[in-house]
Structure 1
Amino acid sequence: MDTHDTSGQLEEALERLHASGPERLGRLSNHAPMVVEALAANGQAGAVHRWLDRYESRLEDFPGRVAPVTDDNWPAALGDVRRAADWTEYFTRTLAEHPWKSVLARWWPRLLPGLYGAATHPVIRVGHAVRALGHGESAPRVTELAHALGYWAARHRPVSGITALPGAPTAARSLDAVPPIEEAEGGFPARLAAVHHLPVWAGDVTDPDTARERLTELVRAATHRYATHGHGEETMLVHAATAPNAVLRTLRSLPRALWAPSLHAAWTATAAVTAMYAPKEPVAYTPPARLTAEEVLQRALAHGDEHVIKFTDTALDVGDEPALAAAQRAVEISQPLV
């Protein structure tokens, strides 16, 4: 779908949101900037403020500053969530001085190894910000990229110590080959730490165009897979599709030399989320009705859950019937926004 919004509703919503912090309760991501962009991009700009009114009670004030991040001291601040405001201020200054694509190109390879922080929400937020800027630059959209990059830098979390297992020729079969982790208590960080074995898929890809093709395949496979595996954890398994799609959306704004590394990081993220949350067995799923893309989007909007809307946004990017069925499945098994 991806309809360019010229109404100004997205700008108004982003300005409204930039007084809010990137998280609430010290661990839950603020999804509102991502959702309002998804709605605006899919022809639903008129619903942006209505949805935001429903979500507003979940917003917290922007955190306080600790000390300025600079071009010299940034490595010491990387991955320190206490520095979220410092990082946002740094990127706000930097984006005021340099074109946004050059800032993105400089920082993408620095941040990419830490794609896994905050359950991949920071890179997803960056993907939404980049898509908005790709349709047209405005001060609120540039500011949103500063907030998104700042959140990613503050929640930067690499993974290491993962043993490579044989993969399969396709993304779908390689996801089937991901071994589930042993029982791990706690949230995303604890489960991520328990991921020790993942299959290798597309590991030999170096050509940028091939990397884009494989990344598109991965997004499609992860989206389709939600229909039969989403019941394992209806919220967290959304990110197996939305995280690589955020990377895919960003490729066209990045130097081509960064496309293959982006594919490899996206695969590891999707495989890790699959290992952490996928059920032991799939279940067959047939959607109750054959709906158009517009009808699926309207059901997601009525449901209201932020993850459902963002997953539907990705399903609309994929665009085929299995993807639309997966979006319907997300509506059915997720708790609505109240």
Structure 2
Amino acid sequence: MTDSGTPTSASSSPDTSGTLDEALQRLHASGPERNGWLSNHAPMAVEALVRNGQAPAAHRWLDHYRRKLEDMPAPHSPVTAANWREALGDPRRIADWARFFERETAERPWREVLAVWWPRLLPGIAGGATHPVIRTGHAVRTLLTTRETEPRRTELAHALGYWAARVQPLPEIAPLAPAPTAAAALDAVPPVPRQDGGVRDRLPQLTAFPHWGATADPDTAHTLLTELVTAATHRYATHGHGEPIMLVHAATAPNAVLRALPALPRELWPASLAAAWAASAALTAAYTPREAEARGATALTALTAEEVFERAAAHGDDHTIKFADTALDVADARALTAAVRAVELNPPAF
């Protein structure tokens, strides 16, 4: 990762083919959800594919995924500067929120829009099982590292709109004994009492997390957030079997926050770290397996970063692609091993 906070990987490169814009234009008539509540992962997966050297495969992947997509829901009633508070967290307003942020990002620089809305949305980071903040992180990364285009700006608008419609605060969390590192803090997260049902059944059971990461210093917040992303990515290799899809988000959600930091005012970084820790700890608590897998901690992969991502792209599962993308940001052997484990654990799409 760069000193500025923008993650890098050995295989990442700017898109000069136009593939990403074409894919996003195809996707923006679709809603951010399907089958009532499941997230549309296509914008995130396509961005990761293009960024990591798999642009030629992006449209083929999207052709396969498109059968899962649903049209953007019908508008309910417009979101405005006067009524946005009453619309916050209302999934009936998904289309209204998308239109609102399309207007906002057309009329003002996208960084200004993000700076205003980030602190409003951050307390609801768990909404949509953290998919909205993850989608936002992908969109911000694109705008920070490539030229700004209308489809890329619209993608940020739809990501923020999805987040606004699905804002969900976590229950009040009591602090447990302090943990010295992010890895130790994740290990000390107590599992929820009833490890059954979906994420919406599990998150209300949260009561307490280890005390970790509290800081008022932006630079320290950036360092600790990087540590958290690394620890959560590494942990997947030994604990991902607890729920191979959902535990991906314990790493990809804080990484989405890390990707957004360079676009945000520095004074927002400490609160961003706190929210990222809460999200990662919540998913860890919700899906902690009874015991770790020893083999994941010892059998480090010999594959290169490029080879790992190629394997994830060929596998085709959206969560696996996004997790491999995060593993390439961490860029060490344990992270790449975790990405290979995700390929093994998750069912292939192709």
Question: What is the Cα deviation at residue 288 of structure 1?
Answer: 7.7
Aligned residue in 2 for 1:240: 250
Is 1:181 the counterpart of 2:175 in the alignment? Answer: no
Aligned residue in 2 for 1:148: 159
Q: Is the 8 A contact 1:243 1:266 kept in 2?
A: yes
Question: What is the Cα deviation at residue 287 of structure 1?
Answer: 4.4
For the structure 1 residues 185 and 231, does the alpha-carbon distance in structure 2 shift closer, same or farther, using more than 3 Å as the test? closer
Is 1:51 the counterpart of 2:96 in the alignment? Answer: no
Q: Is the 8 A contact 1:287 1:329 kept in 2?
A: no
1:71 equivalent among 81, 84, 107: 81
1:165 equivalent among 171, 176, 184: 176
Give the Cα separation in 1 of the matches to 2:301 and 2:309: 14
RMSD: 1.0
Give the Cα separation in 2 of the matches to 1:93 and 1:289: 47
2:263 is paired with a residue whose SS is coil
Give the structure, 1 or 2, with the largest relative contact order (CA under 8 Å, sep 6 or more): 2
Give the Cα separation in 1 of the matches to 2:228 and 2:277: 7
2:133 equivalent among 112, 115, 123: 123
For the structure 1 residues 260 and 289, does the alpha-carbon distance in structure 2 shift closer, same or farther, using more than 3 Å as the test? closer
Note the alpha carbon deviations across 1:159-197, whole angstroms, 9 max, x for none: 132211113110000111000111154311111001111
Give the Cα separation in 2 of the matches to 1:83 and 1:303: 34
Aligned residue in 2 for 1:313: 325
Amino acid at match of 2:176: L
Give the Cα separation in 1 of the matches to 2:47 and 2:299: 27
Give the share of equivalent positions with the same residue, in percent: 64
Structure 2 alignment gaps of length 5 or more:
1-8
Note the alpha carbon deviations across 1:279-298, whole angstroms, 9 max, x for none: 12101124485100011011
Note the alpha carbon deviations across 1:28-52, whole angstroms, 9 max, x for none: 0000000011111112111110111
Q: Is the 8 A contact 2:236 2:247 kept in 1?
A: yes
Amino acid at match of 2:80: T
2:70 is paired with a residue whose SS is coil
Structure 1 alignment gaps of length 5 or more:
none
Is 1:28 the counterpart of 2:43 in the alignment? Answer: no
2:209 is paired with a residue whose SS is strand
Give the Cα separation in 2 of the matches to 1:277 and 1:106: 33
Q: Is the 8 A contact 1:184 1:194 kept in 2?
A: no
Note the alpha carbon deviations across 1:49-94, whole angstroms, 9 max, x for none: 0111111111011100000000010000000001000000000011
Task: Please give the residue correspondences for 1:1-338 in structure 2 after superposition, counting only pairs within 5 Å.
Answer: 1=9, 2-134=12-144, 135-203=146-214, 205-284=215-294, 285=296, 286-287=298-299, 289-338=301-350
Q: Which moved more, 1:208-217 or 1:193-202?
A: 193-202
TM-score scaled by length of structure 1? 0.98
Q: Which moved more, 1:101-110 or 1:131-140?
A: 131-140
Amino acid at match of 2:279: A
1:166 is paired with a residue whose SS is strand
Give the Cα separation in 1 of the matches to 2:132 and 2:52: 21
Q: Which moved more, 1:121-130 or 1:179-188?
A: 179-188
